[in-house]
Structure 1
Amino acid sequence: MDLRAITDWDDAYANAAHIAGGDRWPDAWVAPARRWREACGARAMLDLPYGDAPRNRYDLFLPEGSPRGLVVFIHGGYWLALDKSYWSHLSRGPLARGFAVAMPSYTLCPETRIGGIAREIGAAIAAAAARIDGPIFITGHSAGGHLAARMVAAPSPLPPEVAARVAHTVPISVLADLRPLMRTAMNATLRIDDAEAAAESPALLAPLPGTRVTCWVGADERPEFRRQSALLANIWTGLGAATAIVEEQGRHHFNVIDGLEDPDHPLTRALLGE
């Protein structure tokens, strides 16, 4: 029997150090995101409010013609960093297929807790859903993948009438179980404790009835991200959700989201169920 234990939890959740040229992210996203916002012109509605906190703002990108529904992309950064402005170009694929795309920012830790962030994202999705009719498709990357999954875990931060519209959720590189993060140095800022891990880990919660979820992860990602993705799909299958897991070949933690730029990429098509 080959017993394996993780002794360095900071390394287990480190990404840039294990990717050639990894230090160029997240800066590498800034220019393409800015160019796309400029290209969208009036179809990019920026800094729409969904709450009273300074970062309670979302960008809404509109397709040509009437939207077929709403896609929500939730950014990562370990709940500690970044904002909506880094990811605008990832709306390109769903927009080309006729869907509006909302991208919220949220208050970062330690100003709030992860549970507070989940409630903010619920409010952001509700605000966008009030503007856009039709089905809702939720995705997010890393910590954003956690938040995406959390929206369809009971009790959901979404209003019931909004949760009922969620057609598919695709957490990318999901952090489904918060307990391992309690062993990292960043938890001095995140302040995850046993109670919050139990309340906010999708893998420790039941999916909402009728949930469809596809866990998407790069085949070249750190083992913990692949394990967490498989964990959520495995547990929620046993709790009645329709689940799938995709390990995309040749993708690491920072380029696994790139497929959303392409309307014909398998990630975009899977998200939209097409």
Structure 2
Amino acid sequence: MAALTSLSFSAVTHCSERKKHTLSSTPFLASSSDFFGFRTHFSYHHVGVRASHSTSNMVVQCMSSATDAPTVSETKLNFLKAYKRPIPSIYNTVLQELIVLQHFIRYKRSYRYDPVFALGFVTVYDKVMEGYPSDEDRDAIFQAYIKALKEDPQDYRIDARKLEEWARVQNASSLVEFSSKEGEVEGILKDIAERAGGKGEFSYSRFFAVGLFRLLELANATEPTILDKLCAALNINKRSVDRDLDVYRNLLSKLVQAKELLKEYVDREKKKRDERAEPQKANEAITKCLGQQLPGL
């Protein structure tokens, strides 16, 4: 199982420009190429969206050469320019970690977009942003995020939906026997299997692992041996998938804990504000009462 560092929550800190309450932790499971880091801050940062539209399709997309690849800073700046409304930091900090991870995946020489990868990212994004105050803003942030990586957010959503719909009508047997069947999704899985088997370039990632997990989940294929068989059929290293699913589960667990702490913090601050407001209201009531009585004295 992946080794994870524990969260350590800091006290309230003071900045010379502004005061903010901070809840933070160290990033975990970092490597030279990718990571699921997790740090949360109870504050607001400004990030936002530039609209564009293009037709979604299932065509495999190849990455640019290394010399054409933007830097991580440029990708993050594109995101910051795109969505200018404030994002609660408990969400924004995780998004910043994810965009760094995805930047390294996106601009690897071997990267080729595929719908299983898209399904994995969409699943992670929707889980991370679960409970976000505005559905409209959540979608706008998604658009800004994917466009910052120079890809099409509609491709991600449409391809993820196609795989979800396909998986819902599968069972454990049909899921792992895709190579003997015909169909759009079966063709996608066959292409992945061929590339992962050495007949083309294939870049495994943690988002891909989450995509596989989502297919199994939707097909209600919960037996542990089914994941073994699916990985074998796709020529994917099962050990890597197990490791990365451990990371994903722990990420979700940490998010749940952090959101609970945020709720407690917000409730506590609201109670303090209400308590401070009570004497003020009492004074106003007394003043009003006296003002009404004085004319009759």
Same fold flag (TM > 0.5) = no
TM-score normalised over the length of structure 2 = 0.28
Q: Which has the larger Rg?
A: 2
The structure in which a higher percent of residues are strand is 1
The structure in which a higher percent of residues are helix is 2
TM-score normalised over the length of structure 1 = 0.29
